[in-house]
Amino acid sequence: MHEAAIAAGILEVAGENAAGRPIQKVGLRLGRFTGVVREALEFAFEALTAGTKSEGARLEIEEVPLVVSCPVCKWAGRPAENFCMLCPQCGAAMQIVTGREMEVVWVDVE
Ligand SMILES: [Zn+2]
């Protein structure tokens, strides 16, 4: 599953930050447009930490909304319909400003 690979990547980054100490919490910024299912990611994270010294570690997810902007008329905001990428004012294709983020922002260790 997609989320399992992502959770493994998060743990790798967190593990480098923890430098061998047990991880307690990991803060993650997650954009809406990544298509990642939050619950599935939390489940995968829990499954991967079970039985390790970081067992019980929590993933704290900060969701970043999808914000787009129009290069033609400069309209910016959240798309009215789910992931509709056409400008509501002029119909041009819009660019993603935020919503693609997926990064570990902090790691809490014991
Ligand atoms: Zn426009």
Judge whether 104 and 17 are in contact, CB under 8 Å. Answer: yes
Could you report the per-residue pLDDT of 35-63, keeping only the tens digit for each? 999 999 999 999 999 999 999 999 999 99
- CA 102 / ligand 1 centre spacing (Å): 27
CA of 87 relative to ligand 1 center, distance in Å: 5
Give residues with Cβ within 8 angstroms of 36, minimum separation 6: 2, 3, 6, 30, 102
103 Cα to the center of ligand 1, angstroms: 30
What does pTM read for this prediction? 0.85
| CA 72 to ligand 1 centroid distance, Å | 5
Distance from Cα 76 to the centre of ligand 1, integer Å: 8
pLDDT of 81: 67
pLDDT at 110: 85
**Which stretches of the chain score pLDDT less than 50?**
none
Residue 59 parent element (H or E): strand 58-64
